[in-house]
Copies of this chain bind each other. A is one copy, B any other.
Amino acid sequence: MRQVCIIGSTGSIGKNALEVISQHPDEFSVYALAVNTSIDLLFEQVVKFKPKLVVVHDEDKKDLFCQKLTKEYSEPIEVYSGAAGLIAAVTHPEVDQVLLALMGAQGLVPLVKAIEAKKHIALANKEPLVMAGELIHDLVREHGVHLIPVDSEHSGVFQCIQDRSRNEISSIYLTASGGPFLNRDEETFSEITPEEAVKHPKWSMGQKISVDSATLMNKGLEVIEANSLFQFNFDQIHVLIHPEAVVHALSEFVDGSQLAQIAATDMKLPIQFALSYPKRIPMKGLSLNLSDVKQLNFMKPDMGKFPCLRLAYEAGEKGGTFPCVLNAANEVCVDQFLKNKILFTQIPVVIEAVLKQHEGVKKPNLEEVLTADGWARKIAAQLIYEMKSNNICSKTA
């Protein structure tokens, strides 16, 4: 029986993970749950899964949650808050496995602490790997833990190359649905609204990641993540646009033969795979017959139309703190786009400008990563402020 800690239990990954766990009560038990603020849903989860530890990141919400527990819940439970609470959860001696499903850069420190505490990791939070891929790769080796990706594409790559000799593999492909603007005329990209950008054709996801899918930055971050997870060079990592989104990844061997991982677009599958690894356990209802899908289409990505993908390859190639800066600048830009402060087409412009100003650090330690992250956020905000002052962002000004 594995004792699981879920960081981000009320988000879409967290909810799916609890569904997986409830289907396999003989395999998994929930030891800890952590949320930012959603205490009502957390309370329901606590009643159902009876964790021994919960974290409510927000201090005020934590106090409200404790009041509710006192009144309505009688099982023994510890409640923490803040960053220290997250670390207490992921390093708890009773926890075997941590599912990290935070958004953005905030997952980095808990991830490092969990690996150092020798927990197996199911990782649904790509930014830490983008920010500090080498560091995390080295930690994983040093502490001998499994780090299994939950992203469907990386889970796909992992399934394709699992148990294969690495010198037999020449390259990998990550597929991309292409996002909502695959076939939209590039001329109209500056008119794209946040409402249009968050409507993803295949996956129901959070706002930030939906915008990243629309710019293809999500795929770019995944390329960097793949480099970090699987240690392929960037010229061995290809992106393939595949609108049906049932082929998630491919690996090509030195003889030209390929393996593709294919599955229904349901996150429960990669979540369960990561939680049960190295075992593969049954899951009902996700069987797929390609004769029902009928047709699969593939095309090369257009890096001119979607410059974020090109920027990600460039930052990845440069390595060091450049991917971290790319990610931080992107987080600022997406936030500002969602608030109607910059145009869709300004996202890559700002990111490229931040990257140009950056003097990278090679093989950064955790502190240098966090410094670069902070620097990039500041510079991005500054550039956006200057652009608005200059009335470049005319549409929403």
**Which residues of A approach B to under 8 Å, CB–CB?**
159-160, 163-165, 168, 170, 173, 238, 240-242, 247, 250, 252-264, 269, 272-273, 279-283, 285-291, 293-300
Neighbouring B residues of A273 by C-beta, 8 Å: 255, 257
Neighbouring B residues of A241 by C-beta, 8 Å: 291
Our pick among B260, B285, B287, B296 for the contact of A259 (Cβ within 8 Å) is B260
With A269-B256, A269-B257, A273-B257 known to touch, is A291 a contact of B299 (CB < 8 Å)?
Answer: yes
A288 to B241, CA, bound (A): 15
Neighbouring B residues of A164 by C-beta, 8 Å: 163
Our pick among B247, B287, B293, B299 for the contact of A294 (Cβ within 8 Å) is B299
Could you give 11 example pairs across A and B, Cβ below 8 Å?
A: A163-B164, A173-B290, A250-B262, A255-B280, A255-B282, A255-B286, A256-B288, A257-B273, A258-B262, A289-B300, A296-B298
B263 close to A257 (CB less than 8 A): yes
Q: Closest 3 interchain pairs by CB?
A: A256-B286, A290-B298, A255-B283
With A290-B240, A290-B298, A293-B298 known to touch, is A264 a contact of B256 (CB < 8 Å)?
Answer: yes
Neighbouring B residues of A282 by C-beta, 8 Å: 254-255
With A291-B299, A291-B300, A298-B293 known to touch, is A255 a contact of B281 (CB < 8 Å)?
Answer: yes
Neighbouring B residues of A252 by C-beta, 8 Å: 287
Given A241-B291, A257-B269, A260-B262, 10 further pairs, Cβ under 8 A: A173-B290, A254-B282, A255-B286, A256-B264, A256-B287, A258-B262, A291-B300, A295-B296, A295-B298, A296-B296
